[in-house]
């Protein structure tokens, strides 16, 4: 079945469509990215480590917002548009990049975004993300716990149903069978760059592991593309952290979407195909770590690449630790940068005063301690 939404994809073939022309028009997709993202060697950092080190610049993946989210949202929001939805609802921590990317990309397609946000340590980065969510037009709701997120989402769905239509549900991180295809496609893109002589085939690909769609998609895609590269997932969350078995299930469900349309042969993915590095989350999801801070400084000083403390800094910290082992020196290493280097303020306009945020995000000081921290961090900077 061809989806009418394909016409919005500005006539650009994906790497998967170049591999399987029969996929053209067979999957819902909208144009949110400027692909392929570039690759280049990390000369100074690699030389200091004695490793042939490269980076995949997914921080530049889209004109409105970069990082790993637009690759997933091309398929997810494409499905929402094809289904005739007028709104989407998704979830994450109060500083969620996924929620912000969804709000920005959905807005560009004329869709309303509802965010149900869970607490995480409040940093300056989180403060900025909250203000960007609001400026992007997202309807923002706070929930104090994972069960609270579910309860709040059900109440919102009941409200929306009474208004005439349920929102399209976008799972946390865009990790769904359709969303994961964004990183199956990314693996085929990488294969094209390798075949074009832009980089050697990596022995190892390091990427952060949050909700798991990026890792599952890259692992499945690498196998389907005939790459021997091994994806190394650096765990960055303690909130329902994915296991190797769960990642294999994600990959299988995405492969089923493809198998309904193309012949994948006998290629499959199991738990043994996943390498997960733990020990780099720190105190909690979203809480900065000293190792991550040093990784941020080192990457910026040596390579002029900006990381953030929740995902990519912890991933690079894990990668730097792993690269102390000679096991990782036998082949080129690729760091997949999933952070957005696009500043959405340039197209969203000036940020509001924090008082304009919903009251749940700046409550009285008599409420629980973390909410008090929100107030402190959202106060204007002293002049």
Q: What is the mean pLDDT of the chain?
A: 91
Residue 14 has pLDDT above 80, yes or no: yes
Asked if residue 317 lies in contact with residue 292, where contact means CB atoms within 8 angstroms, the answer is yes
Residue 354 has pLDDT above 50, yes or no: yes
CA-closest candidate to residue 125, choices 291, 276, 293? 293
Q: What are phi and psi of 52, to 5 degrees?
A: -80, 95
CA-closest candidate to residue 269, choices 217, 234, 227, 202? 217
Instruction: Report the relative pairing of strands 168-169 and 112-118 from DSSP bridges.
Output: unpaired
Q: Supply the pLDDT for residue 366.
A: 35
Residue 126 has pLDDT above 90, yes or no: no
Q: Supply the pLDDT for residue 11.
A: 53
CA-closest candidate to residue 10, choices 30, 35, 36? 30
Phi-psi region of 174 (alpha: psi -120 to 50; beta: other; left: phi over 0): left
Residue 5 has pLDDT above 50, yes or no: no
DSSP letters, 274-319, are: -EEE-S-STTSTT---HHHHHHHHHHHHHH-----TTTHHHHHHHH
CA-closest candidate to residue 207, choices 332, 335, 350, 340? 335
Q: Supply the pLDDT for residue 4.
A: 36
Q: Residue 328 — very low, low, confident or very high, per pLDDT cuts 50/70/90?
A: confident
CA-closest candidate to residue 117, choices 86, 160, 149? 149
What is the rounded CA–CA span in Å between residue 95 and residue 333? 30
Asked if residue 191 lies in contact with residue 227, where contact means CB atoms within 8 angstroms, the answer is yes
Residue 375 has pLDDT above 50, yes or no: no
Over residues 184-231, the pLDDT tens digits come to 999 999 999 999 999 999 999 999 999 999 999 999 999 999 999 999
Cα torsion angle, 76, 207, 66, 120, sign? positive
Burial of 249 (0-12, 13-18, 19+ CB in 10 A): middle
Mean pLDDT of 121-135: 89
Q: Residue 327 — very low, low, confident or very high, per pLDDT cuts 50/70/90?
A: confident
Instruction: Check residues 227 and 10 and name the one with the higher pLDDT.
Output: 227
The residues pairing with 206 across neighbouring beta strands, listed in sequence order, are: 232, 335
Cα torsion angle, 52, 338, 40, 302, sign? negative
DSSP classification of residue 70: H
Q: Supply the pLDDT for residue 380.
A: 53
Over residues 53-85, the pLDDT tens digits come to 999 999 999 999 999 999 999 999 999 999 999
Phi-psi region of 212 (alpha: psi -120 to 50; beta: other; left: phi over 0): left
What is the rounded CA–CA span in Å between residue 206 and residue 326? 16
Q: Supply the pLDDT for residue 330.
A: 84
- Dihedral, 21, 23, 25, 27 alpha carbons, nearest 10: -160
Domain with CATH 3.40.50.1100 in the chain: 11-66+178-336, 70-174
Q: Supply the pLDDT for residue 289.
A: 97
Q: Supply the pLDDT for residue 349.
A: 86
Token pair in block for residue 106: 């959905």
Is it true that domain 11-66+178-336 has CATH number 3.30.70.100? no
At 346 the three-state DSSP class reads helix
What is the rounded CA–CA span in Å between residue 218 and residue 17? 16
> Candidates 3.40.50.1100, 2.40.50.140, 3.40.140.10, 1.10.3720.10; correct CATH number of 70-174?
3.40.50.1100
Q: Supply the pLDDT for residue 359.
A: 83
């Amino acid at each position: 079945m061809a989806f009418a939404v394909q016409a919005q994809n500005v006539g650009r073939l994906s790497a998967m469509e170049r591999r399987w022309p029969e996929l053209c028009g067979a999957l819902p997709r909208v144009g949110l990215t400027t692909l392929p993202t570039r690759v280049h060697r990390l000369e100074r950092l690699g030389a200091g480590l004695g490793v042939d080190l490269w980076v995949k610049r997914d921080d530049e993946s889209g004109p409105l917002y970069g990082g790993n989210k637009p690759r997933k949202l091309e398929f997810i929001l494409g499905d929402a548009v094809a289904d005739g939805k007028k709104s989407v609802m998704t979830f994450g921590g109060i500083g969620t990049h996924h929620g912000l990317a969804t709000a920005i990309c959905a807005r560009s397609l004329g869709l309303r975004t509802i965010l149900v946000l869970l607490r995480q340590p409040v940093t300056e980065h989180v403060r900025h993300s909250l203000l960007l969510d609001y400026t992007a037009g997202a309807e923002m709701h706070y929930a104090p716990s994972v069960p609270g997120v579910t309860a709040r989402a059900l109440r919102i769905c009941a409200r929306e149903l009474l208004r005439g239509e349920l929102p399209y549900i976008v799972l946390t991180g865009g990790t769904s069978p359709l969303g994961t295809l964004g990183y199956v496609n990314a693996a085929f893109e990488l294969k094209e760059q390798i075949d074009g002589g832009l980089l050697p085939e990596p022995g190892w690909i390091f990427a952060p592991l949050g909700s798991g769609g990026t890792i599952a998609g890259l692992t499945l895609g690498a196998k389907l593309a005939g790459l021997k590269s091994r994806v190394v997932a650096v765990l960055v969350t303690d909130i329902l952290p994915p296991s190797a078995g769960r990642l294999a299930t994600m990959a299988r469900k995405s492969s089923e979407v493809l198998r309904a349309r193309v012949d994948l042969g006998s290629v499959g993915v199991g738990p043994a195909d996943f390498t997960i590095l733990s020990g780099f989350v720190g105190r909690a999801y979203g809480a900065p770590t000293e190792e991550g801070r040093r990784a941020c400084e080192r990457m910026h000083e040596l390579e002029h690449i900006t990381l953030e403390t929740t995902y990519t800094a912890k991933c690079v910290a894990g990668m730097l630790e792993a690269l102390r082992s000679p096991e990782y020196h036998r082949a080129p290493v690729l760091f997949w940068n999933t952070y957005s280097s696009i500043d959405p303020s340039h197209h969203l306009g000036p940020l509001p005063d924090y008082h304009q945020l919903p009251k749940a995000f700046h409550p009285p000081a008599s409420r629980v301690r973390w909410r008090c921290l929100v107030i402190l961090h959202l106060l204007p900077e002293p002049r």
